[in-house]
Amino acid sequence: MEAFLHQLVSGLAAGGIYASLALALVMIYQSTHHINFAQGEMAMFSTYLAWTLLQAGLPYWVAFAATLGISCAAGMLIERVLIRPVEKAPVLTVVITFIALLVIFNSVAGWVFTHTVKVFPSPFGAGLLPRNPFMSPHEFGSIVVTLAVLVLLYAFFRFTPLGLAMRAAALNPVSARLSGIRVGRMLALGWGLAAAIGAVAGMMVAPVVYLDPNMMAGILLYAFAAALLGGIDNPLGAVVGGFVVGVVENLMGAYVIGTELKLTVALVLILGVLLFKPAGLFGRAVVTRV
Amino acid sequence: MIRILALAVAALATALPAHAQKKYGPGVSDAEIRIGQTMPYSGPASAYGVIGKSQKAFFDMINEQGGINGRKINFISLDDGYNPARTVEQTRRLVEQENVLLLFQSLGTPTNSAIHKYVNAKKVPHVLIATGASKWADPKNYPWTMGFNPSYQVEARIYAQHILRNSPNGKVAVLYQNDDFGKDYLAGLKSGLGPKASMIVREVSYEVTDPTVDSQVVDLRGSGADVLLTFATPKFAAQAIRKVGDLGWKPAHYLTVVSASVGAVLAPAGLDKSTGLITALYLVDPTDPEGSRLPGMKAWSEWMQKYNKGADPNDQFHVNAYAAAWLLTEILKACGDDLTRENVMKQAASLKDVQIPVVIPGIRVNTTASDFATFGEMQLGRFDGKRWVPFGELLSGR
Amino acid sequence: MPLLPKIAPAPLEPTLGRAAMVVLLLAVLCVLPFVLSDYRTFQLTQAVIYAVVLLGLNILTGYNGQISLGHGAFFAIGAYTAAILMDRWGVPYWATLPAAGAVCFCFGFAFGLPALRLQGHYLALATFALAVATPQILKYRKLEDFTGGVQGIVIMKPDAPAGLPLSQDQWLYLFTLAVAALLFLAAWNLLRGRVGRALVALRDHPLAAESMGINGSLYKTTAFGVSALYTGVGGALGAIAVQFVAPDSFLPFLSISFLVGITVGGLATVSGALWGALFIVYLPNWADEISKSAPWAIYGAILLVLVYLMPGGVAWMLPRAWALVLRRIRSRGGAGPGA
C-alpha cells in the first residue's frame, strides 16, 4: 500500500512537470489555433537564459523575473517575424515553420551552451515542506507554482479587458477587428505569454531532470498527451491532464506494462484522445459548418 | 654450424637500428599520422562529445611538443550523432577517403557494433574504443578491435565479489539503463554472483527518454532490498541517489564508475545523500585533494589550463579523455618507424604493466595477444561526503 | 504580407525534353559507380534510397496533404523486416524488398484508417508521437528475440551475382538504382493520372472532391499505405547498404529530416525527391566543416528561408531559374551590342 501511495505521489510530481509545459501549449493554441511543436525547445532555451543570469550572479527570483520578461518579448518577436507571415498559409507550411524553430533552438542551445549537463538550482528550500519520504520540497513547490500560474491565467482571461480581447481575437478575428481589437497585437501577446509560461515550466523542470539541450525531449510528448487529454483549448484541462498523464504513466509502468513502454502509453493516449474524444475531457467540441 | 651462423645473422638483422627500415601504413608520412574517430557531437548522447574535444586538445599539446617521433598527429573526429547508420558512413569516410591509420576511441556500443565487422574485414585498427561492453575483447574473432574502458562486466563482477563477502544474505535490487550499457552490467552482476544470483529480488530498467527515475526507485524500495546497484548514466544516477535519500532508504548502494564524478553527479544529487556510496575506481577523480598531488594529475591540471580552457575541471570525462589519448600516444611511440596497421595492433596487444599517469597508482594496463581487456583490476572506494576513499585491495574482475 | 502561393503539383506530362533529361540522368547515374570510389558509391546509394523514401512521403504529404512526422517508423519497419528475414530465416536480400513493402503497406494502411479522422496539426501530432515511440518499441524486451533489442541485427552485404566484376558497393548501388527507377516510374504513372488529381483535389478542396464522387477514405488510406510501402522498401535497402539495424538509427530526428527533404526538394513533385535526397545526404558532411552543431541549425534556417521565399522547393525553382537564364540569353542575343 505504501509503495502504491509512493507511486501515486511520484506520478503527481511528474504530472506537475507535464502540466506546466501543457499550459504553455494550450496558451498558444488558444490564441492562435496552432500546435507549437517547438514549445519544449523554447522552454529549454529560456531555462538556459535563466542559468546564464544566475551564473552572472543575479539572485534567483530576479533572474526568474528577468527570464520571464525576456522570454515574453522573444515570443512576441517570433510571432511577429516568423509566424505572422505564415498565418494564412497551408497547415503544412505552419508545421514546417514550427519544426524549423524546434531544430534551430535545439542546435543553437547546444552550440552556445555546450552539451554538458548543467545543474539548475531550486528556489524551494527545505522549509517549504516538512521532511517526508513522499514528496520533496521542490516537487511540492513546482506543483504550487503550476497551480498559481493556472489561477493567474484564469483570472486574466476571465476578469481583465485584455484577456477578454485576446479570447475574442482567437475566437473570431474578423468580428474582433471590427470591434476595434488589434488582432495582430493579441496574437503576439498570446505567443509572449506562452513563451513566459514555457520559461516557468523549464525552470521548474530543470532542477529535477538537469539542464541540457535535450532536456525537454522526453517531456514534450507527455505534455502533448496531457494537453490533448484535458482539451487543447482549456488551461484547467491541461493541468488536470498533466496530473492524469503523470499518474497513469507511473502506475502503468510500475504495475502493468513495465517501464519499457512508457512512451507507447503516451502514443496510445494521444491516438485514443484524438480518435474518440478530440475535444478532450474539458474542451469544447468544435463543429464545423460545411 | 650453419644453424649457428643463421642465428647470428638473424640476431644481427634484428639488432639493426629501426629507423633504417621505415614502414608506413595508410595515413602515415614522415610528417604526420592520421587518426580517425567518430563521436556523438549532436543528438541524444551529445554530452559525451566533450571527450572528443578534450582529445583534440591533448593531441594539440603533443603536436606542440614535437609530435610522436617527429610526426604530427592529424586528428579527424567526425560527428555521428549516436546514429549507427551515420557511424557506418563516417567510418567509411575516415577509412576510404580520409585514409586514416587507425580509429581511436569511437564512442558508443550500438555505433561501434555497426562498424565492428567492417573494420575487421578491412583490417583497420579499431582501438581503445570508448565503451565498456564486454564484446570488444574478442581477439580470436575480431583481432582488430580493442576497448579502453574497463569492461562493464569486469566492474559488475567486482561488485558481486564485494556483495558476496559483505552482505552474503542480502536482498539485491538493480536499477539499470535499458540499453547495452545497463544490460551488460546486469549480465556481469549475475555472472559474478554465480549460483547466488537469486539474491537479486528486483531489477528495474529505465529509458533515456524518461524524465525521471523516481517511479523506478520507489518500485525497487518496495521490494524490501537492502543492497542496491545503480547502473545509470550521470543524469539518472544523480536522480536515483537523490530519490533514495529522499525516501529515507539506506541500502548498501553501489554506483557505476561512469557516474562516479563528484562534480557532475554527487554534488547535484546532494553530498549528504551520496555518503556511503561504493564504486570501483580506476581514474583519479579531479576533485580528490590527495589524487591531485600525483605528478600525473599535476600534468593533467596544467594541460587543462593551457590547452583545454573552456572545460570543467571537475568533470571526470576530461581525465578519461586524457588517459585514453595518453595510452594511444604510448602505443604509437612504441611503433617507432614501423607504423603499419599490423604493428599498431601488435604494440596495442603487448602492453605490460603500463601505468597511465591519471589512473590510480597500482592499476596497470595489461594486454596480450589473447587477452584484449585493458583494465582487469579496479579499486573499490567509498564516498565519505567529500571524496572517494579507497578501501581494500585491488579486486580483479577478469 | 502577401498570401503564400498554394503549392501546385508540378506538371508531369511526358514531353520529349523531359524524357531526354530522364534518360540522360539515368545514363549518368549508371556510369558513376565506375568512376567514383567505393565510399562515394555508398553515399550515392544512400541518396538513391532516400529519394525513394522521400517520394513515398511526398505522395502522402505533398500531393495528398496528410502531414506525417512519423515516416521514420515505416523506414524502421522496412529495415527490420529485411534484417529479420535475412538474419533469422536466410531469405535472400532481393526477396526482402517485396516483403518489406507489403508489411509496410499494411501498417501504413492501418495507420491511415484512424488518420482519416485527423487533420493538419492533429495528424502531425499523432505521427510525431509514432516517431517518438518507435525506438522504444524496437527495444522492447519481449520482442528482443525478433529485433535483437538494443544490440540490433548485423546482416551481410550481398555480392554481385554470377561472378560479375563488380564490387559489393557497385552492385548494391546498381541494384538500388534499378529498384528506384521502377518505383519512380510507377509513382509517376500514378500521380500524373486520375489518382494524382484525386489526391491533390482531396488536399486542396476535400469537401468539393467528395461531392464530386471521389472516395476520400479509400484514396487517403491507400495513399498512406502506398507511401509507407515506398518508405519501407527504402528502409529495407538502407538496412542492406548499412548492414546493421538498431533502434538508435531511427530516432524522431530521422522523420524530421525526411520532412526537411521533401520541403527542400519540392512538395508535390516527383523530381523533388531526388533533390531532397541529395540535400539530406550531402549537407551534413558539408556543414560539419563549419561546426559540429551546425547541420541542424542550418536545416532549420534553410527550412525557414524556403517556407517564405521558395515554398515549392528546388524542383519548383529550377525550371524558373532556367527560364530566367534562357530569357536573359535570348534578350542579350536579340538586342544590344557587345553580346
pLDDT of residue A280: 78
- Whether residues B218 and A3 touch (CB distance < 8 A) is answered with yes
The chains in contact with chain C, meaning 3 or more Cβ pairs closer than 8 Å, are A, B
Three-class HEC string of chain A: CHHHHHHHHHHHHHHHHHHHHHHHHHHHHHHHCCCCCCHHHHHHHHHHHHHHHHHCCCCHHHHHHHHHHHHHHHHHHHHHHHHHHHCCCCHHHHHHHHHHHHHHHHHHHHHHHCCCCECCCCCCCHHHCCCCCCCCHHHHHHHHHHHHHHHHHHHHHHHCHHHHHHHHHHHCHHHHHHCCCCHHHHHHHHHHHHHHHHHHHHHHHHHHHCECCCCCHHHHHHHHHHHHHHCCCCHHHHHHHHHHHHHHHHHHHHHHCCHHHHHHHHHHHHHHHHHHCCCCCCCCCCCCCC
Which pLDDT tens digit goes with each residue over C16-44? 878 888 888 888 888 888 888 889 999 99
Residue C178 pLDDT > 80, yes or no?
yes
Specify the CATH architecture of the domain B153-281+380-396.
3-Layer(aba) Sandwich (3.40)
Q: What's the Rg (C-alpha) of chain A?
A: 19
Contact C230, C52 (CB under 8 A): yes
- Whether residues C307 and A100 touch (CB distance < 8 A) is answered with yes
**What ranges do the domains of chain B cover?**
19-150+293-367, 153-281+380-396
Give chain B's residues under pLDDT 50.
18-19
CA angle C263, C274, C308 (to 5 degrees): 20
Which CATH number does the domain C36-159+166-332 belong to among 1.10.3470, 2.30.30, 1.25.40, 1.10.1760?
1.10.3470
Q: Any chain B CB within 8 A of the CB of A209?
A: yes
pLDDT band at residue C119 using 50, 70 and 90 as cut-offs: confident
CA angle B277, B282, B288 (to 5 degrees): 65
- Dig out the grid coordinates for C252 from the structure: 524522431
Closest CA to A194 of A61, A20, A49: A20
pLDDT of residue C7: 61
Residue B84: enclosing H or E segment and its boundaries? helix B84-92
- Whether residues A219 and B211 touch (CB distance < 8 A) is answered with yes
d(CA B266, CA B381): 14
d(CA A191, CA C69): 23
**What ranges do the domains of chain C cover?**
36-159+166-332
Closest CA to A219 of A227, B291, B156, B295: A227
d(CA B172, CA B220): 9
pLDDT of residue B340: 92
Contact A33, A172 (CB under 8 A): no
Does B138 or C182 have the greater pLDDT score?
A: C182
Cell match 516527383: residue?
C270
Fold of A2-121+130-276: ABC transporter involved in vitamin B12 uptake, BtuC (1.10.3470)
- Whether residues A218 and B268 touch (CB distance < 8 A) is answered with no
- Whether residues A208 and B268 touch (CB distance < 8 A) is answered with no
CB C39: neighbour CB atoms within 10 A? 18
Measured between CA atoms, the residue of chain C closest to residue B40 is C292
Q: Which of A120, A214, A257, A264 to mutate to test the interface with B (most CBs of B within 10 A)?
A: A214
Which pLDDT tens digit goes with each residue over C221-243? 999 999 999 999 999 999 999 99
pLDDT of residue C290: 73
pLDDT of residue C4: 30
- Dig out the grid coordinates for A11 from the structure: 506520478
Q: Which residues of chain A from 127 to 156 reach within 8 Å of chain B, CB to CB? A: 133, 136
Does C179 or B376 have the greater pLDDT score?
A: C179
pLDDT of residue C8: 67
Helix or strand or coil: residue B359? strand
Report the relative pairing of strands B172-177 and B227-231 from DSSP bridges: parallel
d(CA A275, CA A131): 44
Q: What percent of chain C has pLDDT over 90?
A: 32
Sign of CA dihedral B304, B323, B92, C300: negative
pTM, two decimal places: 0.88
Q: Position A234: which residue type?
A: N
pLDDT of residue B227: 94
d(CA A224, CA B341): 52
Q: Position C105: which residue type?
A: F
- Dig out the grid coordinates for A216 from the structure: 525537454
Residue C339 pLDDT > 50, yes or no?
no
d(CA A209, CA C124): 27
d(CA C231, CA C226): 9
pLDDT band at residue C258 using 50, 70 and 90 as cut-offs: very high
Which pLDDT tens digit goes with each residue over B206-240? 988 888 898 899 889 989 899 999 999 888 999 99
Which CATH number does the domain B19-150+293-367 belong to among 3.40.1390.20, 3.40.50.720, 3.40.50.2300, 1.10.1200.10?
3.40.50.2300
Residue A190 distance to chain B (closest CA, Å): 28
Interface predicted TM-score (ipTM) of this complex, two decimals: 0.85
Q: What are phi and psi of A282, to 5 degrees?
A: -115, -5
Residue A201 distance to chain B (closest CA, Å): 14
10-residue averages of pLDDT along chain A (290 residues): 83 88 89 87 95 92 94 94 81 86 90 84 77 80 89 88 86 87 89 93 89 87 90 87 91 80 84 83 68
Measured between CA atoms, the residue of chain A closest to residue C203 is A90
Residue C128 distance to chain A (closest CA, Å): 9
d(CA C56, CA C222): 12
pLDDT of residue B313: 85
Establish whether domains B19-150+293-367 and B153-281+380-396 are of one fold.
yes
